[in-house]
Amino acid sequence: MLGRLVVGKVVEERGQGLVVAALAMVVIMAFAAIAIDVGVFLHERRELQKSADAAALAGAQELPESPTDAVQKAEEWAANNGIDAGELESIEISTTYIADDTITVEVSRDVPFMFARVLGFSSDTMSADATARVGSPAGMGGLVPFGVLEDAIELDEPTVLKYDATDVDHGNFGALAIDGDGASIYRETIKYGSETALCSESQPTCTDPTTETEPGNMTGPTRTGVNWRIDETSSACDEFEEVFQEDGDTYRLKTRCNPFGPGGAHDSNRVVVVPVIEELCHGRCEVTILKFAMFFLEELGSCTGNDCEVTGWFMDAQADVGSLIGALEPDSLIRFVRLVE
């Protein structure tokens, strides 16, 4: 009798165990289904955000001159990135600093669930938005310590960036003490760009748009610094046409030669950013920064004694130079678009 009771008890417990196991399996499968569907949902969400980002950046390249073209370009890029017409919720042109300098793209997509249907969830709607703005550098480091006068800039012919000592009318010849005084600091700043960030007076957020000049011809440090930049540039990026692509009245810095951001395979150290200053002076003094300009260094010719000029080409360029984005300056020689939200 006792044996029968024990066997019955064991069978009963086994039966209960099977029920518990079956229930546990249902729960596990439900969680697995949810995990799979959530994974699909998050993947679609990332792809949707990438599409919104691409559309906003493409549209911003047409701002502020042509809001109509900006909307059209954003629509084209959205479609190219898999956004159907019904998924494009809105494209809005707005103002941050100047009229029509900002674009916002909103998209949405209905994502059906596969496994979660057994729990009563058939689908969910995801949305993404991106805002991009066109602007000029509000403040930046990595500057080469040459100050150029605004009226000296010529876009269609070689321009003198640093004058030699035979041009006595320019006093300190255009050298700047951005990171501090002295020949060695000046030389290292030419080679690697400034550690100190400067801002221009045209930006509403700039509180001190000034820097000091570096008096003297600085022949040796100039020769060493500029030649280092020339020598450290790959042969794939040492010609203007290899570095810049013409785009209407402006130039775009090619990704493979861009020394300011990720993605460059060769990095052209001939491309530098310099402060445009209000005026030169005699000796060490304080000068006001009006804006920043991109410059392509030519080979350094004679640089001995009093003869040491740095020449090259200025261009109206569109490139992200890794600086803080500020208001677009109407006559800026550097403009870039960036996601701001």
Q: How far apart are CA 336 and CA 318, in angstroms?
A: 5
pLDDT digits (tens, 9 = 90+) for 234-258: 999 999 999 999 887 788 888 889 8
pLDDT on residue 7: 45
pTM of the predicted protein model: 0.77
Residues in the chain: 341
- Interval 142-152: pLDDT, tens: 999 999 888 88
What is the side-by-side strand order in the sheet with 102-112? 88-94, 102-112, 123-135, 334-339, 317-318, 250-253, 244-247
Query: Rounded to the nearest 5°, which phi and psi values hold at 292?
Result: -120, 155
- CA–CA distance, 303 with 227 (Å, rounded to integer): 10
Give the Cα-Cα-Cα angle 290, 254, 325 (nearest 5 degrees). Answer: 35
Residue type, 102: T
Going 312 to 317 to 319 to 321, the CA torsion angle's sign is: positive
Report the percent of the chain where pLDDT is more than 90: 46
- Identify the sign of the CA torsion 228, 274, 209, 172: positive
Pairing of strands 317-318, 334-339: parallel
Give pLDDT, residue 11. 46
Instruction: State the Cα–Cα distance between residues 278 and 274, nearest whole angstrom.
Output: 13
Q: What is the mean pLDDT of residues 62-86?
A: 93
The pLDDT score that the predictor gives to residue 173 is 85
DSSP state, residue 181: S
Phi-psi region of 182 (alpha: psi -120 to 50; beta: other; left: phi over 0): left
- Mean pLDDT taken over the chain: 84
Residue 6: pLDDT band (50, 70, 90) is very low
Element (H, E) at 259: none
The per-residue pLDDT for 165 is 81
Instruction: State whether residue 335 is helix, strand or coil.
Output: strand
Give Cα separations from 44 to 84, 110, 126, 250 (angstroms).
14, 10, 8, 36
Give the relative orientation of helices 183-192 and 219-231 as an angle to the nearest 10 degrees: 20
Q: Which residue has the tokens 């403009």?
A: 335
